[in-house]
Amino acid sequence: MDRIFRRSHRCLPVVAALVATHSPAFADDIQIKVGDCKSGVNLVARDAPLSKVLERLAESLAFELDDEGRADRKVTLNLTGRGPELITKLLSPHERFMVAHARDPRCPGQQRVSRLWLFSNGQANAVRKDAPPPSPPSPSAPVVKRTPVTQIGTPEQLRANEERSRQLKQDYDIYVNKHGKPPPGEEEEAARP
């Protein structure tokens, strides 16, 4: 049962992201420009619902969003920063949230946001009735209890991988053109010399 809930719960932000991508209603209210490793991300929002801003950010920065809070206050702002820094600027001090980081493959030595949990802060009342009580934030990301799987690629996943490959190749070429040499690449393993 818990697994079923988790799966259906995971659908929601994705569905929302897909709808958001194709909805022109707020297209002009939120602008996100992803710059290079030095300049970071510029976020401009004008009287836009916070939930929509987060969905657009999750889409642009490719992180997973667990929005349990649904605190839909409207925001008007112009912020610039790298992913984790930008999230902090956007949500502090009004929201209760937690961020999981991962190495940023595009920017050696930098971190990207891999997942954002937004918890109910008591002001909002839109928490789904079937949702478990939110956990308080902790210094590190919570252990995600998930059964290990072996996953055979679906046709959709294979096509997504091909598209991602093309994008990675373009990014690689951009780097080479700019720096005159290949990117240093991720370290093979933490233990590699």
- Provide, rounded to whole angstroms, the least separation between the CB of residue 58 and other proteins: 9
130 binds other proteins (CB under 8 A): no
Residues pairing with 74 in the sheet: 49
**Of the candidates 108, 21, 10, which has an alpha carbon nearest to the alpha carbon of residue 67?**
10
Count of residues that interact with other proteins, criterion CB under 8 A: 68
CA dist 145 and 186 (Å) reads 28
Half-sphere exposure in the Cβ direction for 93 (13 Å, CA): 0
CB count in 10 Å sphere of residue 111: 16
CA dist 47 and 30 (Å) reads 9
Pick from 33, 74, 89, 94 the residue near other proteins by CB under 8 A: 33
- Provide, rounded to whole angstroms, the least separation between the CB of residue 121 and other proteins: 21
Given a contact cutoff of 8 angstroms between Cβ atoms, the answer to whether 55 and 98 are in contact is no
Stretch that binds other proteins, among 43-51, 69-77, 130-138, 176-184 (CB under 8 A): 176-184
Pick from 5, 18, 77, 137 the residue near other proteins by CB under 8 A: 18
Report phi then psi at 51, rounded to 5. Answer: -60, -40
Stretch that binds other proteins, among 46-54, 68-76, 83-91, 173-181 (CB under 8 A): 173-181
27 binds other proteins (CB under 8 A): no
Given a contact cutoff of 8 angstroms between Cβ atoms, the answer to whether 95 and 146 are in contact is no
- Provide, rounded to whole angstroms, the least separation between the CB of residue 123 and other proteins: 26
Residues pairing with 113 in the sheet: 101
- Provide, rounded to whole angstroms, the least separation between the CB of residue 44 and other proteins: 12
Q: Which residues are near other proteins by CB under 8 A?
A: 7-8, 10-11, 14-15, 17-18, 21, 32-36, 42, 59-60, 62-64, 100, 102-103, 114-115, 141, 143-144, 146-154, 156-165, 167-170, 172-174, 176, 181-193
